[in-house]
Structure 1
Amino acid sequence: MNLRENALEILKETSRTFYIPICRLPSELLEAVASAYLCMRAIDEIEDHPTLNNLTKAKLLRHISLNLQSSDENSGVDDFTYGLAGEQYLLPEVTLRLGEWCLLAPESIAPRIWDATAAMADRMAYWSQNNWHIRTHEDLDSYTFSVAGAVGLLLSDLWAWHNNTQTNRMHAIGFGRGLQSVNILRNHREDQARGVNFFPQGWDNQTMQAYARRNLHLADCYTKSLPPGPALDFCQIPLALAYGTLNVMALGQEKLTRSDVLALVERATSGFGWNSEAV
């Protein structure tokens, strides 16, 4: 099994939501997006690790950031994970293989992915060290940009790199923020159980729902601005699932059922799109 095939297997294990649209991308773009997703997933596993303390998380994330910032065309797999050996028995496979994901990307776009991953690792280190303490709307905007809005920008740059075009970068940020805020709503109880609350002071589920929908509206604008092709195909599935999740949560369900997911994916991939009222 070559690196690309193995990367898709790991992707399937870590996110079925993104595995489906990534597999549908043309070859070179697939490698770039898979590389970006797995790099981000690698550092996200550190931020979300259940047993590492926050200072250790911050230290590891900053170490990875420095590794990425010092990398070039001569860097090998081990150069990207230098300094992680002390925690290797605690970290998952997707994190320990960060170097492979970094080298999966085509050379012409790989440095942009490394830069985005390094910046996100530094931001995650900040939030880990501060125990994800969110007090205000501005704090929430900062956090959702750190871990998702910036991903929207990176994806926008990958589409532009592949098609030699430009997209609306502010709407791309909304795409990432919208998906992340839906995740915050879906995981709210679990986060509270581990002592973390991503809701600003005074916010309830209804307020966070409104925040999510405002950003998903920007995601709608972003997606509708994309021409027919792989970028549009990629964005439709997670956006449809985000809307579907908000809708079932508004009805009192915690998450989408498997049949809901299959129906939404079928609708998004068959040319019917989605709407914010129907699951």
Structure 2
Amino acid sequence: MIMLKKTSRTFYIPISRLKDGLKDAVAAAYLCMRAIDEIEDHETLSDDLKAKLLLGIHDAFESSNVVDNSRKLLAPYQDVLPEVTMKIDEWALLCPPTAAGVVYRNTAKMSKQMAEWVHESWNIRTEDDLDRYTYSVAGMVGEMLSELWLWFDGTKTDSSKAIAFGRGLQAVNILRNQKEDMERGVNFFPDGWGPKEMIKYTRRNLKIADEYLMELKGGPALEFCKIPLTLAHATVNLIAAGGNKLTRDAVMKLVGSIN
């Protein structure tokens, strides 16, 4: 939970409120995916090395010895990779055994797709490209969470709406981080798109995410999803009005207002 708090203000709060067992599974999943995200976004690693490490994690998480294989892969890079990445073996161990298959399979799949995007130099020209990218790094998380809800208490969800939930949250990040992304030579906006078009894309996915939540019948899945979705709506509204990032006080006020 200490690492979770360091790496995500948005997800620390809802994960910390989950019930035992599910909390470990979702925390493990988030931290594994944050670990590989840090490789994809690393400012000094070459693209070839990023792809090599991401494909290596794919292979490790598909192997019968996830912990040793991922540890061996990353050991030579302990001086350049962040702590959350170097400890991916610990996050893998954190996951309850009966949920490990879900987390390992999705971590492997995401690692492979991230490696493919590195090879493509994140070349996003069309809305279809954007859909593929946001699925690779976030829509897939929505799918995985749906599997974990089912694993924990039998909650069934609409997979396509779960994807839109993840995609909408990622689109908010793309809007919020456009300047920083451009400074490192990456543009996630399709050709001809400006903030207006990306806001429209974001709101369309968040609307589907609202439908996803409406179909949840209470329980931990609903309680978890309410917080990041509320913050996403507030952030896109702030961006549309010329702002960029919610303050800590605004975040806490919004979280406190959620029933």
Q: Matched residues in 2 for 1:76 and 1:150: separation? A: 20
Establish whether residue 192 from structure 1 lines up as the match of residue 211 from structure 2: no
Equivalent residues in 2 for 1:206-225 (5 A)? Answer: 206-225=196-215
The match for 2:51 is: 58
Counting helix residues as a fraction of each chain, which structure ranks higher?
2
Q: Matched residues in 1 for 2:157 and 2:52: separation? A: 35
The match for 1:24 is: 17
Establish whether residue 104 from structure 1 lines up as the match of residue 97 from structure 2: no
> Which stretches in structure 1 are left out of the alignment for 5+ residues?
1-7, 272-279
Native 8 Å contact 1:58 1:129 kept in 2 = yes
The match for 2:81 is: 91
The match for 2:222 is: 232
Native 8 Å contact 2:60 2:66 kept in 1 = no
Q: Matched residues in 2 for 1:242 and 1:107: separation? A: 32
Q: Secondary structure of 1:82's partner?
A: helix
Native 8 Å contact 1:116 1:154 kept in 2 = yes
Q: Matched residues in 2 for 1:219 and 1:153: separation? A: 12
Q: Secondary structure of 1:138's partner?
A: helix
Q: How many residues align?
A: 259
Query: What TM-score, normalized by structure 2, do the two folds share?
Result: 0.98
1:164 partner amino acid? G
Establish whether residue 169 from structure 1 lines up as the match of residue 169 from structure 2: no
The match for 1:43 is: 36
- Offset of residue 79 of structure 1: 2.6
Equivalent residues in 2 for 1:72-87 (5 A)? Answer: 75=65, 77-87=67-77
The match for 1:155 is: 145
Native 8 Å contact 1:186 1:254 kept in 2 = yes
Q: Matched residues in 2 for 1:236 and 1:135: separation? A: 32
Establish whether residue 241 from structure 1 lines up as the match of residue 231 from structure 2: yes
The match for 1:3 is: none
Q: Matched residues in 2 for 1:258 and 1:137: separation? A: 32
Establish whether residue 263 from structure 1 lines up as the match of residue 256 from structure 2: no
Query: What TM-score, normalized by structure 1, do the two folds share?
Result: 0.91
Q: Matched residues in 1 for 2:115 and 2:244: separation? A: 29
